[in-house]
Structures are given as structure tokens and as C-alpha cells.
């Protein structure tokens, strides 16, 4: 079946640095990808919708200058957390649907970010 | 009011028990409904879609009441492997894949 892969699975970074998380669709073309964030014991919150070749659409309250999203190809979207702070520590997860997947939305394995 | 609300639990049940989870959603125009399962520190995985007429998949039964904006999931003959968090998920519109997640209901099945 279709697979969405995220990298890295775990990352620890220093406060003030930037971290890039990749989301790849391995066997289908993902015209749209979604980025979510999940804090402990909370639900997944949609951060932004990433469309291939165009600017991402951010949800209310999500700083687009802090969370940079790039969807340069049909198989890759990246989320860059710029100037990370401890409060950005969270589980970041992407999902995708594209040609050949029908109505199924596939999730990546998620990336745990810890900012120290 | 949250867009999707669930009882967080936890529900602690013995093996073989029947357990039911409820969920309400606020947007009456919502189009699609799902139950996802999320294991600790893992990504959510689709358990089943929820159809207006209700649907069953093995030990799992999902029902939708559009008038009450209410979704349910029934698990029969609980197994230890059913222990997880169950997420009620709603697609609020018909022209996007945007999903709104509930906070999840945690289920712990004990021997």
C-alpha cells in the first residue's frame, strides 16, 4: 500500500536553531500534504495545508514565518521550524493523499522534536 | 466549543468486554467521518470510515447520527491488542482533505 515517510523520527535541537522535517510519499504523487502538531495528551492540530508548487495555507494562529513549509515536488514536503524554542517541542506529523490512493489519507510516522 | 469532542477516558475494561465510545461534532455541514486508532507515540491509523447507515467491520461497529451530530464506535469482545487511543475524526467540507481530530479516548484492556 501507499506509504508516507517522515524524517527524522526523533530530533533534539538547541533553542534558537532551526530544524527541518521531511515528508515523502514513497509510491504515489501527493498533490496535497498536511502538517499536524500534537502536544502530549492533546489531539492532532492541523497547522497547514501544503500544495505542490504553491504557497502553503496556514491555519489560524500558526505563524507562517516560524513554520516554513515547502512542497517543491509531488513526493516531498518539508516543514522547517525556525528559531525553535522549548515550547515548540512536540510531535509533528504529515499526511498525504494523491493520485492512485483513492480516498485514503496516509500519515507519516511522525517526528518527535525536543528543543532544549 | 471544540469542533470535535470526545470523552478522554481512560476506559479500563477486561478482555472480552464490550465498550462504546462517543463523539460529537459542531459543524452540521461536515461531510465525512472516521475513527482512527493511535498507539502511544505513533501516527494515527485509519480504523474505519463511518457511514450514515452505520457500518460494521468485524468486532467494530460505527454509527452516525447526523441530526444529533453524534458518532459512536462499539468494540465487542475486546482484546488486549485493542488498547490504544481512539480518535474521532471529521472532514468538515466536501472539497478538501482537511481533517479535524478529537482529543481521543484512551482504552486499556486488561487480562
Q: What is the pLDDT of residue A106?
A: 86
Nearest to A107 among B8, B44, B100 (CB): B44
B27 vs chain A: nearest CA distance in angstroms?
Answer: 17
Q: Is residue A65 classed as helix, strand or coil in its secondary structure?
A: coil
List chain B residues with CB under 8 Å of A107: 43-45
Q: What is the pLDDT of residue A100?
A: 63
Residue where the block lists cell 516531498 = A76
Q: Are A56 and A50 in contact (CB under 8 A)?
A: yes
Q: Which distant-in-sequence residues (6+ apart) come within 8 Å of A99 by Cβ?
A: A28, A29, A31
pLDDT in tens, B58-107: 999 999 999 999 999 999 999 999 999 999 999 887 666 788 999 999 99
3-state secondary structure A29-53: EEEEEEEEEECCCCCCEEEEEEECC
Q: What is the pLDDT of residue A54?
A: 84
pLDDT in tens, A11-66: 999 999 999 999 999 988 888 899 999 998 888 999 999 888 888 999 999 999 99
**Cα B93–Cα B31–Cα A23 angle in degrees, nearest 5:** 60
Contact B98 A110 (CB under 8 A): no
Amino acid at each position: 500500500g501507499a506509504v508516507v515517510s517522515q524524517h527524522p523520527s526523533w530530533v533534539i535541537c538547541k533553542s534558537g536553531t532551526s530544524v527541518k522535517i521531511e515528508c515523502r510519499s514513497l509510491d504515489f504523487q501527493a498533490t496535497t500534504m498536511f502538517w499536524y502538531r500534537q502536544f502530549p495528551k492533546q489531539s492532532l492540530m492541523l497547522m497547514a495545508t501544503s500544495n505542490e508548487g504553491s504557497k502553503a495555507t496556514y491555519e489560524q494562529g500558526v505563524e507562517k514565518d516560524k513554520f516554513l513549509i515547502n512542497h517543491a515536488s509531488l513526493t516531498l514536503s518539508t516543514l522547517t521550524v525556525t528559531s525553535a524554542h522549548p515550547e515548540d517541542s512536540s510531535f509533528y506529523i504529515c499526511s498525504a493523499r494523491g493520485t492512485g490512493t483513492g480516498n485514503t489519507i496516509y500519515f507519516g510516522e511522525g517526528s518527535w522534536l525536543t528543543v532544549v | 466549543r471544540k469542533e470535535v469532542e470526545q470523552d478522554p477516558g481512560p476506559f479500563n475494561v477486561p478482555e472480552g468486554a464490550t465498550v462504546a465510545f462517543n463523539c460529537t461534532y459542531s459543524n452540521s455541514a461536515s461531510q465525512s467521518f472516521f475513527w482512527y486508532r493511535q498507539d502511544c507515540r505513533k501516527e494515527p491509523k485509519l480504523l474505519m470510515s463511518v457511514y450514515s447507515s452505520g457500518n460494521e467491520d468485524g468486532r467494530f461497529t460505527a454509527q452516525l447520527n447526523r441530526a444529533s451530530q453524534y458518532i459512536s464506535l462499539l468494540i465487542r469482545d475486546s482484546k488486549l491488542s485493542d488498547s490504544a487511543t481512539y480518535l474521532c475524526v471529521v472532514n468538515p467540507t466536501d472539497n478538501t482533505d482537511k481533517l479535524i481530530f478529537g482529543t481521543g479516548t484512551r482504552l486499556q484492556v486488561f487480562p
